[in-house]
């Protein structure tokens, strides 16, 4: 067997930020023609080492070798010249440019007159999306796209550089299952061509499907590098969190104690989606919304939170009709939304943890126009402890935190408003398996406190663990509304909790496919 060719070799990499050691003498090696998973909890150092590789951060010490070349300058242009392309976890897209303009930004095709040729950029971008077999309009403005299409644009931007080393940092966060499968098929083609692919994800099932080897970091240190065949999921999780764990299967489930009807939607429709939705959520209940991107889940969440007005139907809170024309109306009714995109809707990266957490509840923390500093600090410290936010202090910039810890800041901001109704749109996006379990346990605890919770997640195991019942949506309509217990296998109640969860996930996936088939059938009939 031929000796593998080293595509990337990083040796003794260390990096500190403001006294916090993000990387401590880390070695990282990737071969040509492999998909190499980079794993670790929030703050483990994954994004930092990738930004060092990409020339965004200069290491305090260590060497970087790409192929036969050593990188000396630690600048993005040097990394690009060496054949490295990176898809960032926090998207680098410009919303006022088209998809094609973003894909080829700084590398625009030019005409014979040396003018930027947007038509050629659109043609090339369309060819990329056709190769991926996904539907994204190359002429569309990025600001008008949903999170999933933005993610696909970011991936296309990285792939378009024809790099020898492709770095994908949480590429599937906002993608539908079908889009993930297409992405994986494309990555396998790149692997066959001898490209090296570094793949970062908190989704263990994805890692098992796509990766050949994995490197795990914890607290800025190298833990292990090994073939995926020698890293079963339970061992992977153990290395990531530092102790034996079954992930979400370890979250204790208690039967919900439903209280009064808190939120009710009667025949509610938006401008496009959702359509004619009836929904009831009681105190102490967690209701999950499942479905593919475009099924209407996020549109429904935005209507409940007052971001998008309902075109028809009625919304009631505690039995009283309400009209939400703006988010402030919903907030005044004790409704809070943790949005899908933390980077553009959840945080102000340059501001401190303190100012981000208190942003939505300042009216509770001021007197005569002046902030009550001690009260504010107490609120922030409570959320830092409650959510285990890893930060040097409450005064640290949120932009210096890992993606998962930024997400916790967003959740903490809205919990600080003490809402009665909490809408969570992909609340664990970019959060490691250990923190996911913490967030799911937190959701269950909030329900026990009497809150009504509506939760959207593309991770079906997360919905099955966190929720009391799950609504499957497709085409903006509700297809089914069933208790989570319906997805369990009654013939095997004593099997391993992890296997039970996997089996329930398959049944829920089948339900979603039935919804797609039913919607497609309706469209065909109408046509």
> pLDDT tens for residues 444-470?
989 999 999 999 998 888 899 999 999
Q: 101-105, 131-135, 253-257: which range is least confident on average?
A: 253-257
443 and 389 housed in the same domain: no
- Where do runs of H (alpha helix) occur along 113-176? 118-132, 147-159
63 and 194 housed in the same domain: yes
3-state secondary structure of 279: strand
**Average pLDDT, integer, range 390-406:** 85
44 and 84 housed in the same domain: yes
410 and 432 housed in the same domain: no
403 and 424 housed in the same domain: no
Q: 84-98, 320-334, 489-503: which range is least confident on average?
A: 489-503
How far apart (Å, rounded) are the C-alpha atoms in residues 153 and 130?
12
412 and 424 housed in the same domain: no
How far apart (Å, rounded) are the C-alpha atoms in residues 167 and 173?
15
Whole-number average pLDDT of the chain = 88
**In this predicted model, which residue has the larger pLDDT, 278 or 174?**
278
Residue 154 placed within a domain: yes
Residue 1 placed within a domain: no
How far apart (Å, rounded) are the C-alpha atoms in residues 342 and 105?
24
How far apart (Å, rounded) are the C-alpha atoms in residues 423 and 355?
22
**Average pLDDT, integer, range 263-286:** 95
How would residue 520 be classed by pLDDT, with cut points 50, 70 and 90? confident
Q: Does 165 score more than 90 pLDDT?
A: yes
**In this predicted model, which residue has the larger pLDDT, 2 or 412?**
412
Q: Let me know if 54 is exposed, middle or buried by CB neighbors in 10 A (0-12, 13-18, 19+).
A: buried
Residue 117: what are its φ and ψ, rounded to 5°? Answer: -105, 90
439 and 496 housed in the same domain: yes
Residue 397 placed within a domain: yes
Residue 339 placed within a domain: no
Residue 439 placed within a domain: yes
**Average pLDDT, integer, range 181-188:** 86
| b/e sequence 97-108, b meaning 16+ C-beta within 10 Å | ebbbbbbbeeee
348 and 408 housed in the same domain: yes
Q: Which helix (H) or strand (E) holds 266?
A: strand 261-269
383 and 401 housed in the same domain: yes
How far apart (Å, rounded) are the C-alpha atoms in residues 475 and 227?
41
DSSP 8-state symbol, 408? H
How would residue 225 be classed by pLDDT, with cut points 50, 70 and 90? very high
What separation, in Å, do the N-terminal and C-terminal C-alpha atoms of the chain show? 57
Residue 425: what are its φ and ψ, rounded to 5°? Answer: -105, 105
**Average pLDDT, integer, range 37-47:** 88
**Average pLDDT, integer, range 476-481:** 95
Quick one: pLDDT at residue 196? 95
How far apart (Å, rounded) are the C-alpha atoms in residues 309 and 272?
11
Residues 6 or more apart whose CB falls under 8 angstroms from that of 453 comprise 281, 285, 286, 287, 421, 422, 423, 424, 443, 446, 447
378 and 327 housed in the same domain: no
How far apart (Å, rounded) are the C-alpha atoms in residues 107 and 47?
25
> Treating both helix axes as pointing N-terminal to C-terminal, what angle do 373-387 and 403-415 enclose, rounded to 10 degrees?
130
Strands (DSSP E) found in 318-425: 320-322, 335-338, 366-367, 370-371, 421-425
Q: 223-227, 484-488, 493-497: which range is least confident on average?
A: 493-497
Q: Which helix (H) or strand (E) holds 498?
A: helix 497-526
Here the CATH number for the domain that contains residue 217 is 3.40.50.300
Structure tokens at 182: 């297409």
Return the top range by mean pLDDT from 24-28, 396-400, 485-489: 24-28
**Average pLDDT, integer, range 522-526:** 57
3-state secondary structure of 509: helix
Q: Does 399 score more than 80 pLDDT?
A: yes
How far apart (Å, rounded) are the C-alpha atoms in residues 2 and 273?
55
Give me the number of domains the chain comprises: 3
Q: Does 89 score more than 90 pLDDT?
A: no
Q: Is the dihedral of CA 340, 344, 346, 350 positive or negative?
A: positive
How far apart (Å, rounded) are the C-alpha atoms in residues 90 and 169?
9
Return the top range by mean pLDDT from 159-173, 239-253, 428-442: 159-173
**In this predicted model, which residue has the larger pLDDT, 493 or 290?**
290
Residues spanned by the domain of 411:
344-418
**Average pLDDT, integer, range 372-381:** 91
Q: Does 6 score more than 60 pLDDT?
A: yes
How far apart (Å, rounded) are the C-alpha atoms in residues 101 and 155?
14
Please tell me the number of Cα atoms within 13 Å of 213 on its side-chain side: 18
Structure tokens at 186: 């494309």
% residues pLDDT > 90 (the chain): 51
Quick one: pLDDT at residue 495? 66
127 and 267 housed in the same domain: no
pTM over 0.75: no
How far apart (Å, rounded) are the C-alpha atoms in residues 93 and 112?
28
Q: Which of 227, 246, 265 is the last residue of a domain?
A: 246
Q: Which of 246, 271, 302 is the last residue of a domain?
A: 246
Q: Is the dihedral of CA 174, 178, 184, 189 positive or negative?
A: negative
> Treating both helix axes as pointing N-terminal to C-terminal, what angle do 433-448 and 403-415 enclose, rounded to 10 degrees?
10
Contact call for residues 175 and 148 (beta carbons, < 8 A)? yes
Residues 6 or more apart whose CB falls under 8 angstroms from that of 340 comprise 147, 174, 298, 425, 426, 429, 456
Q: Which of 418, 441, 467 is the last residue of a domain?
A: 418
How would residue 103 be classed by pLDDT, with cut points 50, 70 and 90? very high
104 and 219 housed in the same domain: yes
């Amino acid at each position: 067997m031929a000796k593998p060719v080293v595509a990337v070799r990083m040796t003794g990499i260390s990096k500190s930020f403001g006294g916090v050691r993000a990387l401590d003498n880390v070695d990282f090696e990737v071969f040509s023609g492999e998909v190499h998973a980079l794993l670790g909890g929030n703050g483990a150092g994954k994004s930092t080492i990738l930004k060092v590789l990409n020339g965004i951060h200069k290491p305090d010490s260590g060497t970087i070798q790409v192929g036969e070349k050593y990188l000396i300058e630690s600048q993005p242009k040097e990394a690009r010249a060496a054949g490295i392309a990176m898809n960032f976890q926090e998207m680098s897209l410009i919303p006022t440019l088209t998809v094609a303009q973003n894909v080829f930004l700084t590398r625009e095709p030019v005409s014979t007159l040396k003018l930027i040729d947007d038509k050629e950029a659109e043609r090339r971008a369309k060819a990329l999306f056709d190769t991926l077999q996904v539907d994204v309009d190359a002429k569309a403005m990025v600001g008008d796209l949903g999170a999933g299409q933005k993610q696909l644009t970011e991936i296309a931007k990285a792939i378009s550089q024809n790099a020898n080393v492709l770095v994908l940092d949480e590429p599937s966060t906002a993608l539908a299952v079908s889009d993930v499968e297409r992405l994986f098929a494309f990555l396998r083609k790149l692997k066959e061509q001898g490209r090296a692919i570094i793949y970062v994800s908190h989704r263990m099932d994805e890692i098992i499907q796509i990766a050949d080897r994995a490197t795990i970091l914890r607290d800025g240190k190298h833990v292990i590098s090994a073939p995926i065949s020698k890293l079963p999921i339970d061992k992977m999780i153990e290395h990531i969190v530092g102790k034996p764990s079954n992930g979400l299967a370890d979250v204790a489930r208690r039967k919900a104690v439903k209280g009064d009807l808190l939120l009710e939607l009667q025949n509610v429709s938006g401008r496009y989606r959702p359509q004619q939705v009836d929904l009831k959520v009681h105190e102490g209940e967690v209701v999950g919304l499942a479905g593919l991107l475009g099924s209407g889940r996020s549109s429904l969440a935005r209507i409940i939170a007052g971001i998008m007005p309902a075109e028809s139907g009625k919304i009631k809170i505690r039995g009283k009709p309400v009209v939400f024309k703006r988010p402030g109306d919903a907030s005044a009714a004790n409704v809070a939304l943790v949005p899908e995109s933390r980077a553009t809707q959840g945080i102000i990266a340059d501001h401190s943890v303190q100012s981000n957490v208190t942003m939505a509840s300042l009216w509770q923390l001021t007197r005569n126009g002046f902030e009550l500093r001690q009260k504010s600090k107490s609120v922030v410290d409570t959320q830092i402890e409650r959510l285990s936010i890893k930060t040097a202090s409450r005064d640290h910039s949120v932009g210096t935190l890992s993606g998962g810890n930024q997400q916790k800041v967003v959740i903490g901001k809205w919990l600080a408003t003490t809402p009665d109704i909490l809408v969570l749109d992909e609340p664990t996006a970019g959060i490691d398996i250990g923190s996911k379990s913490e967030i799911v346990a937190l959701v269950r605890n909030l329900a026990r406190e009497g809150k009504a919770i509506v939760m959207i997640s593309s991770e079906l195991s997360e919905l099955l663990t966190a929720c009391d019942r799950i609504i499957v949506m497709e085409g903006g309509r509700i297809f089914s509304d069933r208790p989570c217990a319906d997805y369990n296998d009654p013939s095997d109640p004593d099997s391993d909790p992890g296997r039970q969860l996997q089996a329930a996930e398959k049944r829920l996936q089948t339900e979603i496919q039935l919804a797609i088939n039913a919607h497609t059938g309706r469209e065909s009939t109408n046509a």
